[in-house]
Amino acid sequence: MKVYPEHKTRTSVLVVSLLAVSILAGCEKATAPATEPAAAVVAADQATDKAAAPAFANYSAEQFYATKSYQGSAINHNGQSLLVASDETGVFNLYRVSLDGKTWQPLTTSTTDAVTPVDWFPKDDRVLYTADQGGNELHHLYVLEADGKVVDLTPGDKLKAMFGGWLGDTAFFVMSNERDPKFFDLYQYDAKTYARTLVYQNNEGFEVAAISDDGRYLALSKERTNADNNLYLLDLQDPAKTPLHITPHDGKVTFAAHGFSRDGKQLIFGSDQSSEFSQAFSYDLASKQSAVYQQADWDISYIGFSKDNKYKVTAINADASTKIQITDQNTGQPLQLPKLPDGDLRGISFSADSQYLSFYVNADNSPSNLYVWKIGDATANRLTQALDSTINENNLVMSEVVRFASFDGVQIPALLYQPKQASANSRVPAVIWIHGGPGGQSRTGYSPVIQHLVNQGYAVLSVNNRGSSGYGKTFFHLDDLKHGEDDLQDIVYGKKYLQSLNWVATDRIGVMGGSYGGYLTMAAMAFTDEFKLGINIFGVTNWVRTLESIPPWWESFRESLYAELGDPTKDGERLRRISPLFHGDKVKKPVLVVQGANDPRVLQVESDEMVAAIKKNGVPVEYVLFPDEGHGFVKKANRITAQNAYLAFLQKYL
């Protein structure tokens, strides 16, 4: 059973992921406040000039994308097979993988839409998976029967559906917005017949955040603003089905449900009420009292349990890396993992009897590789070789966590990638990379986009500008209603930081990013004269239109979105002022725009009009449009095309 999902940058799912993207053109991944310790900034006179590195190879985009990407690590009912998706064919498809990794049996053969694994059925080898249509994010939930037959459990043209969890081995839950596009209702499906029952009709705009193992209780979240929400407990056996408010508080506090304890007696949730960071609390369903459950010096981003409740898994977002703690609940002692390569653990799954543990290890210089460990053995078995065999990982670059002062003295965290070619005698051009969000986070971990550019001799600074998650609630909210202003200055001061390094060509610095990072890229090109070029990957250029055309399933957190970015009916003047489209005449330097035609978040028209506005100035602008992609490029061929476009543009203008 999978108990640790891919990392979430913030425990409260508000605006953090609204314009972020999980696969951004092939990314595998994505003063601090006074309460956060600041690290020393490496100034020019302090920079250590690396000794001349031995000869190493330059690799092509095709080689970096020959790398295989994997998703899923669920172990089946008899502990013999894993459910894994791989993009080895160019599109993500499902595979049944033996625990020793020697047998990979294809289960799906999609050539168009990416297939994402959900889970095995608890007592047999049927499979649940999801897929959308060309990147439109209208995911359906499917069953792959043992005989290969596929059943769409959520048929329809306009709906979006999500798996909610198992009810023993006889039923499971599905959330769907088919009744009302704005809100997700909860259905219970029979595991044999797939007959379903509506168990919770969501008329109030709640988010179903967790379901108890016995199916009796729901944890519901209700957003008020991007800095304030509440949790409710709903007893489905209550005839009135009246949600009980369990997080009364004063001021602005965020709460996020991690899940129910296996015995159904407690709800474990995160809260930043008493700390800059989200700490874990327990709510006792009998006494209706909350208590501290677990604390850390950073955000506790996830807590979960093995199916037999023997182990607890805690994930901590520690300065852009994930630190995993696995605790034996019988002894209270940490589980001692075998020796593993450096990197972050992700996708942790236990077998039903907790005899086996499957997981991925990911690092800057190594894509996610899948491991299986028989608990107690001296070593874990590595099942994959994700990095293409023609690439020597020693030629790839590990990032360094740095911090620099912005215009107002706030310390801004970032990840710095120094090319092996770079030295005081051989200065290199540089690119500032801006993550999506707006509340996302640039994190350590393998990114073919970044590694390819660094390998080709471009320094990269991945800036976690104010408003990024992971650095405390004060830092997270510093950009509220100041987008394109204070956070843009963080990007400008990131350039100044790069110029302080004696191995960077100070007059050759560009900027690029996707989604919200694409917006800040265009804002940098329209509202400053700091950068030699910009690469805008499906970035917002007209905030009024974007906020007026959000997908209907974002309705439950519309007010949170408006509190973060602005209400188009009330803040239209400001939103126009910060929207690059209305200031296209100010763009004076070359721009590359990359867009998916099926993007439901940043509509194609955004990029079409921005390109036209730049062309009108007579400024060099290039446009790459993918007719079969959405908000993020999932097809390997398209990722290669995009990556080659980035490199060619940088070589031409930087």
Please state the pTM of the whole predicted model: 0.87
Contacts of 536 (CB under 8 A, 6+ apart): 512, 513, 518, 519, 521, 522, 525, 591, 592, 593, 594, 607, 610
Kindly give the parts of the chain with pLDDT less than 50: 1-27, 30-54
Q: What separation in angstroms does the CA of 244 have from each of 188, 210, 265?
A: 22, 15, 16
- Under a CB-based contact definition with an 8 Å cutoff, are residues 346 and 322 in contact? yes
- Under a CB-based contact definition with an 8 Å cutoff, are residues 308 and 353 in contact? yes
What domains does the chain contain, in order, with CATH numbers? 15-30+391-653 (3.40.50.1820)
Record the tokens describing residue 88, joined without a space: 């080895």
**Per-residue pLDDT, 566:** 87
**Per-residue pLDDT, 449:** 96
E strands of 265-310, at which residues? 266-271, 279-284, 289-294, 299-305
CB atoms within 10 A of CB 41: 14
| Separation of first and last alpha carbons in the chain | 49
Q: Classify residue 342 by burial, with Cβ atoms within 10 Å: 0-12, 13-18, 19+.
A: exposed
Contacts of 371 (CB under 8 A, 6+ apart): 340, 358, 359, 360, 361, 380, 381, 382, 383
The number of C-alpha atoms within 13 Å of 606 and in the hemisphere containing its C-beta is 33
Which residue type, as a one-letter code, is found at position 115?
V
**Per-residue pLDDT, 55:** 59
DSSP 335-354: P-PPP--SSEEEEEEE-TTS
Comparing C-alpha atoms, which of 490, 512, 487 is closest to residue 432?
A: 512
Alpha-carbon distance of 398 to 362, in angstroms, equals 12
Record the tokens describing residue 634, joined without a space: 């999932």
- Give the residue carrying structure tokens 């056996």: 237
Looking at the DSSP bridge assignments, the partners of residue 356 are 374
Alpha-carbon distance of 363 to 447, in angstroms, equals 9
**Per-residue pLDDT, 554:** 73
Distance of alpha carbon 132 from its chain centroid, rounded? 18
**Per-residue pLDDT, 372:** 98
Helix (H, G, I), strand (E, B) or coil at 80: coil
- Under a CB-based contact definition with an 8 Å cutoff, are residues 466 and 412 in contact? yes
The number of C-alpha atoms within 13 Å of 442 and in the hemisphere containing its C-beta is 29
Alpha-carbon distance of 195 to 213, in angstroms, equals 20
**Per-residue pLDDT, 323:** 96
